Amino acid sequence: MTETYSTQILKDEAATVHAAEVLATQLKPGQVIYLHGDLGAGKTTLVRGILHALGHVGKVKSPTYTIVEPYILPLASCYHFDLYRFQDAEEWEAAGFRDYFNSNSICLVEWPERAEQVLPHADIEIRFDILPHGRVLHITSQHPLALEELCQ
Ligand SMILES: Nc1ncnc2c1ncn2[C@@H]1O[C@H](COP(=O)(O)OP(=O)(O)OP(=O)(O)O)[C@@H](O)[C@H]1O
Ligand SMILES: [Mg+2]
């Protein structure tokens, strides 16, 4: 059952960062967040904003080649996946990726459609649509989320 659905226009990168800050207040250990959207849609920008809001200081690089980057933060161990180059379901087990998904972690997953046979289900799904100037952000959650501040 879908508990929360939000759709919002983000007019520029600052609006994406603001959305990240609002979303970060709603995250809890154990959650899995899928991020959908084309190349350059804003997935990493949103994850960067979430990680900074959760206390990470410093760079957040796109894990395009490493597949996953860990961030050990006060709220939870956060794992930022980019599965764009992920090909082989056997790699999932061999690399121990399954262990990253546990009750103490928050997993933020770009390109989840590349590993749908092995990925745990999402608690929150985020989709970006690209507009000529800006983005549309869609958020769907299995749990209630307080996202009123997104509109401010
Ligand atoms: N709301 C917005 N409006 C316009 N531009 C934005 C907005 N949010 C982010 N951007 C810009 O769009 C680009 C998004 O790049 P980003 O790396 O976040 O995309 P991505 O979805 O992670 O792509 P990839 O699939 O290649 O990893 C950046 O240049 C960023 O400045
Ligand atoms: Mg990215």
pLDDT of residue 148: 87
Neighbours of ion ligand 2 (CB under 5 A): 43-44, 62, 110
pLDDT of residue 39: 97
pLDDT of residue 80: 98
pLDDT of residue 102: 97
For a substitution probing ligand 1, which of 10, 34, 45 has the most ligand atoms within 8 Å of its CB?
45
pLDDT in tens, 24-63: 999 999 999 999 999 999 999 999 999 999 999 999 999 9
> 3-class DSSP state for residue 57?
coil
Residues of the chain with pLDDT below 50 are: none
The pair of three-digit structure tokens given for residue 101, joined into one six-digit string: 């998904």
pTM: 0.97
Any idea which residue has 């990240």 for tokens?
20
CB 63 within 8 A of CB 82: yes
Burial class (CB in 10 A: 0-12, 13-18, 19+), 2: exposed
pLDDT of residue 4: 84
Q: How far apart are the CA of 9 and the centre of ligand 1, in A?
A: 14
- From the CB of 15, is ligand 1 less than 6 Å away? yes
Structural domains present in the chain: 3-119 (3.40.50.300)
pLDDT of residue 152: 66
